[in-house]
Chain A
Amino acid sequence: MTLAAAVLPLLTVVVVLALIHRPLGDHMARTFTGTNDLRVERGFYRVLGVDPASSQSWRSYLTGVLAFSAVSVLLVYLQQRTQALLPYSLGLPAVPEGLGFNTAVSFVTNTNWQSYSPEVTLGYTVQMVGLAVQNFVSAAVGLAVAVAFVRAFVARRSATLGNFWVDLTRAVLRILLPGAVIAALILLSGGVIQNFNGFTTVATLTGGEQVIPGGPVASQEAIKMLGTNGGGFFNANSAHPFESPSPWTSVFQVLLMLAIPFSLPRTFGTMIGQRRQGYAILGAMAVISLVSFTAATLAELSAHGAAAQAAGSASEGKEQRFGIVGSVLFGSVSTLTSTGAVNSMHDSYTAIGGMLPLINMMLGEVAPGGVGSGLYGMLVLAVVTVFVSGLLVGRTPEYLGKRIGAREIKLASLYILTMPALVLAGTALSFAVPVLRADIDGTSILNPGLHGMSEVLYAFTSAANNNGSAFAGLTANTPWLNTALGVVMLLGRFLPIVFVLALAGAFAAQDRVPATAGTLPTDRVQSATLLVGVTVIVTALTFFPVLALGPLAEGLL
Chain B
Amino acid sequence: MSSSRSTVRQLGTAVRALVLTLVLGVGYPLVITALGQAAFGDRADGQPVTLDGETVGSAIIGQGFTDAEGAALPQWFQSRPSAAGNGYDGGASGGSNLGPENPDLVAAIEERRATVAELEGANLSAVPADALTASASGLDPHISPEYALLQVPRVAAERGLDETDVEALVEENTQGPDLGYLGEQRVDVLQLNIALAALET
Contacts and interface: CB of A to CB of B under 8 A. Distances in A.
Contacts of A312: 128-129, 132
Nearest to B85: A211
A318 B121 CA distance: 27
A471 B31 CA distance: 35
A310 B109 contact: yes
Contacts of A448: 102-103
B160 interface: no
Given A193-B45, A245-B60, A305 B143 contact: no
B181 A4 contact: yes
A338 interface: no
A473 B65 CA distance: 27
A516 interface: no
A197 B55 CA distance: 14
B129 A451 contact: no
A49 B12 CA distance: 9
Interface residues of B, number: 104
B153 interface: no
A247 B177 contact: yes
Contact of A59 (B3, B13, B45, B135): B3
Contact of B54 (A9, A203, A222): A203
Interface residues on A, range: 35 or more
A218 B176 contact: no
A132 B29 contact: yes
A204 B57 contact: yes
Interface string A194-238: 111101101111101011111010111010000000000011100
B164 interface: no
A285 B33 CA distance: 37
Nearest to B73: A206
Contact of B58 (A212, A216, A250, A473): A212
Contacts of B64: 204, 206, 208
A326 to B, nearest CB: 5
Contacts of B133: 311, 315-318
A446 B142 CA distance: 27
B35 interface: yes
Nearest to B88: A210
Contacts of B63: 204-206, 210
16 contacts: A12-B182, A48-B13, A71-B14, A181-B31, A188-B39, A189-B40, A195-B36, A203-B56, A204-B64, A214-B45, A240-B137, A241-B137, A317-B96, A317-B133, A319-B142, A322-B183
Given A67-B10, A446-B97, 10 more contacts: A64-B13, A67-B14, A172-B20, A177-B28, A212-B57, A234-B137, A241-B137, A247-B182, A311-B133, A322-B184
